[in-house]
Structure 1
Amino acid sequence: MDPASEKSSHPEAAEIRSFGRRRGRKLSARQERLLTELLPRVAIDPSGPAPTDITALFPPGTSAFWLEIGFGGAEHLIWQAEANPNVGLIGCEPFEEGLVKALTAVDDKGLGNIRLLGDDVRPLLRWLPEASLDRAFILFPDPWPKKRHRKRRLFSPDLLRLLARVMKPGAELRFASDIGDYAGTALYAVQQTPFFRWTADRPADWRQRPADWPGTRYEVKAGREGRRCYFLRFIRV
């Protein structure tokens, strides 16, 4: 089944917002400068003409393309960019403070393989070329723990259909949560579409992070508060 031919159950204009606030505390002068001067040089604009080839978004020689949805404090995004200089990483984060943290690292470390979007990821997934991503990450998304808010959870069959369109066969989708109910939501969502396969063969496969999957502040907080973390990996079939 071709995901591009499947219609989302929610029209784009009526999609439920999956994230909370966009702004927090007042930014410093340097942070404001990064937003006004550096962000335009590394930003992706899904409202513009769509690229026919994802390589046009990155420096020559970039050999693979990864997407992190909701990168939070950007620890994982920056670690992956430094560890994989030949990989082009797109980071999507609506919260301004997270965006500024990524920009600060890009500026301080001179990272040329990061592109950023400070908005909802779904327009980006409709804009990117088909079968262009080799990996995607959704790590510790907003859990929306109240029952009446669970419809806002980002990981859903609709999102998986959008991801399936832009991920190559064999590409890997990584998901992490410290909320057991959300891990169950993710597994159920994967079962609702034919596009992804869960890779776990034993409990360690979802209880332990692989060596190339660095920890984040959310994982540290979960451990401090006594919550187990779940690390799920899915393959685009």
Structure 2
Amino acid sequence: MNSTGDSNNPAGKAFFGRRKGKPLRARQARNLDELLPQLTLDPATPSPANLSQLFDSPVTRFRMEIGFGGGEHLIHRVQENPDTGFIGVEPFINSMAKLLGQIEGQGIGNIRLYDDDAAEILDWLPGASLDHIDLLYPDPWPKRKHWKRRFVSQKNLERFHRVLKPGALFCFASDIETYVNWTLLHCRRHGGFCWTARSADDWRTPYDNWPGTRYEAKAKREGRQTAYLTFRKI
């Protein structure tokens, strides 16, 4: 397990928790052994001058989702945007195995994957290469002593700012109020992102064509409201 250290994470601990849950089924294990190596990015190799070189299908835009969890949102966006090349990052093995099953079953060609720390891929990508980054329901690390492990930090925002194209979007969704406020404060402090909301409805309303996620459903069951924040690189 590789990790990322910065001023908010002085111990150099990874920004994610456990790597594996319940035992995998035989087909899931096979996909991890055979399909994942075909789709995974390798930050030890030189980064491509143009990200279109990473994909088998012709793509003109590029979008990354960090921590795709059950993959509901990522698969939905992949299907509705066939001209976009997607990079999905998820260190949790069971989630990766679930997504690989959908990729195999649907013959999806406009996606590449990474199963470790997203910071490694962000550092590997060429500058101004992404049109969009999604960070949806990230681990909130709710205890104050663990806040330094939240993925939103000045160091990672600087990574976002480097790889996003001018005017590109960073979308963040969470049902944890402290993390929403944390993200707003960090983006304002960074200075390279403009929060696009003009009224409360802008951050209370889900994104266009939002498919919903299991995390969102759990938040609703438990009486928590999600904030959908959109930031534009300036």
Question: Aligned equivalents of 2:9 and 2:75: distance in 1?
Answer: 30
Question: Aligned equivalents of 2:66 and 2:57: distance in 1?
Answer: 24
Over aligned residue pairs, what C-alpha RMSD do you find? 1.6
Q: What CA deviation, in whole Å up to 9, does each residue of 1:102-157 have, x standing for no partner?
A: 10110011100111100000010110011000000000000100111111111111
Amino acid at match of 1:222: A
Shift of 1:214: 2.2
Quote the residue 2:135 is aligned against.
138
Question: Aligned equivalents of 2:176 and 2:53: distance in 1?
Answer: 38
Shift of 1:49: 1.9
The one of 199, 214, 217 aligned to 1:202: 199
The one of 23, 26, 45 aligned to 2:20: 23
Shift of 1:12: 10
The one of 226, 229, 234 aligned to 2:226: 229
Question: Aligned equivalents of 1:41 and 1:12: distance in 2?
Answer: 32
> Are the counterparts in 1 of residues 122 and 159 from structure 2 also a CA contact under 8 Å?
yes
Mapped pair 1:178 → 2:175: yes
Aligned pair in 2 of structure 1 residues 179, 13: CA closer, same or farther (>3 Å)? closer
Quote the residue 2:43 is aligned against.
46
Task: Spell out structure 1 runs of 4+ moving beyond 6 A.
Answer: none
SS of the equivalent of 1:145 reads coil
Shift of 1:30: 0.2
Once the two structures are superposed, the pairs formed by residues 1-237 of structure 1 within 5 Å of their partners are 9-10=6-7, 15-237=12-234
Question: Aligned equivalents of 1:96 and 1:79: distance in 2?
Answer: 20
Count, aligned residues = 230
SS of the equivalent of 2:70 reads coil
TM-score, scaled to structure 2 = 0.94
Question: Aligned equivalents of 2:54 and 2:180: distance in 1?
Answer: 33
Q: Where does the alignment leave 5 or more consecutive residues of structure 2 unmatched?
A: none
TM-score, scaled to structure 1 = 0.93
Question: Aligned equivalents of 1:61 and 1:34: distance in 2?
Answer: 24
Quote the residue 1:3 is aligned against.
none
SS of the equivalent of 1:197 reads strand
Q: Where does the alignment leave 5 or more consecutive residues of structure 1 unmatched?
A: 1-7
Shift of 1:15: 3.2
> Are the counterparts in 1 of residues 57 and 110 from structure 2 also a CA contact under 8 Å?
no
Question: Aligned equivalents of 2:40 and 2:93: distance in 1?
Answer: 13
Shift of 1:61: 2.2
